[in-house]
A = this chain, B = another copy of it.
Amino acid sequence: MNKKLDISSNINWFNQYSFFRTLDTDEQTFLIANSNKVNFDRREVLFKQNTRTSHVMFLQSGLVKIFKEGKSKKRLALKIVNPGNFIGLMSVFGDDIYQYSASAVEDSEIFMTDRSAFLNLIKKNGDFAMDIIHTLCKDGLFIFDKLMAQAYKHLPGRIANVLLYFSQDIYKSHVFEFQLTRKELAELCGTTKESFIRTINEFKNDKIINLNGRKVEIVSMNLVKILSDLG
């Protein structure tokens, strides 16, 4: 599950991700020397809320869910992480303890870097630091948007948000297949599975989407956007 990294074979995939673009060859070599690649199976936990932070994780392939657990097994999913993005940066550099959990939604390859090595690169390379800062800001603004939606949008609006999120950010297609259960989707909308099912089936009955099990087709992107907008 955990393997040492060979430098030459890794420099290549580095350059496809904008994050490592700012690192020079020495820095890339240093990063690789202080990292491992770890594979996680679907549903495996990457890290659990309330455990100590240790590594910076970068998703190479697969799909990862970020979620928070509260009292009486209530869960709220924050987002789904796409390949080419960091996982849990906010906790690693914000607290010694993870403030949320992460689990693999699909089989995933994670590039794990020692926290202190990553910190060295940030301190040494200002452009790299700025990329990280930009990402953290974007992430923060995303959460603020979710907070606003949670406070003021009704369920149809929040479900429309999530449909747009999957279609535009995750799968980049108007047809896709959820890799999450209804309960998990409900957690992403900040509601219960029953309410989620009822409301998304109304979308289906109103022919705004086609829904067959986990297969979705957005029939009227326009209506979904209007629903999201009106809240």
Q: Which A residues lie at the B interface, using CB under 8 A?
A: 68, 70-71, 74, 76, 78, 89-95, 99-100, 119, 122-124, 126-127, 129-130, 132-134, 136-141, 143-148, 150-152, 190, 229-231
Residue among A93, A140, A141, A146 facing the most chain B CB atoms (10 A cut-off):
A140
A139 contacts across to B, CB distance below 8 A: 140
Ordered by A's residue number, 17 sampled pairs between the chains whose C-beta atoms are within 8 Å are: A71-B229, A71-B231, A76-B152, A78-B147, A90-B144, A93-B130, A93-B134, A94-B134, A94-B140, A99-B145, A122-B130, A124-B126, A129-B133, A133-B136, A136-B137, A146-B147, A150-B151
Q: Bound state CA distance, A47 and B123, in angstroms?
A: 31
Q: Bound state CA distance, A37 and B89, in angstroms?
A: 33
Contact present for B126 and A123 (CB under 8 Å): yes
Return the chain B residue nearest A147 by Cβ.
B147
Q: Bound state CA distance, A122 and B127, in angstroms?
A: 9
Q: Bound state CA distance, A84 and B230, in angstroms?
A: 38
A94 contacts across to B, CB distance below 8 A: 134, 136-138, 140-141
Return the chain B residue nearest A151 by Cβ.
B190
Q: Bound state CA distance, A124 and B190, in angstroms?
A: 42
Instruction: Give me the 9 closest cross-chain CB pairs, A-B, nearest first.
Output: A94-B137, A123-B126, A151-B190, A129-B129, A140-B140, A136-B136, A147-B147, A143-B143, A93-B137
Q: Bound state CA distance, A140 and B99, in angstroms?
A: 11
Known contacts A126-B126, A150-B151; decide if A140 and B138 are in contact (CB<8 Å). Answer: no
A129 contacts across to B, CB distance below 8 A: 122-123, 126, 129-130, 133
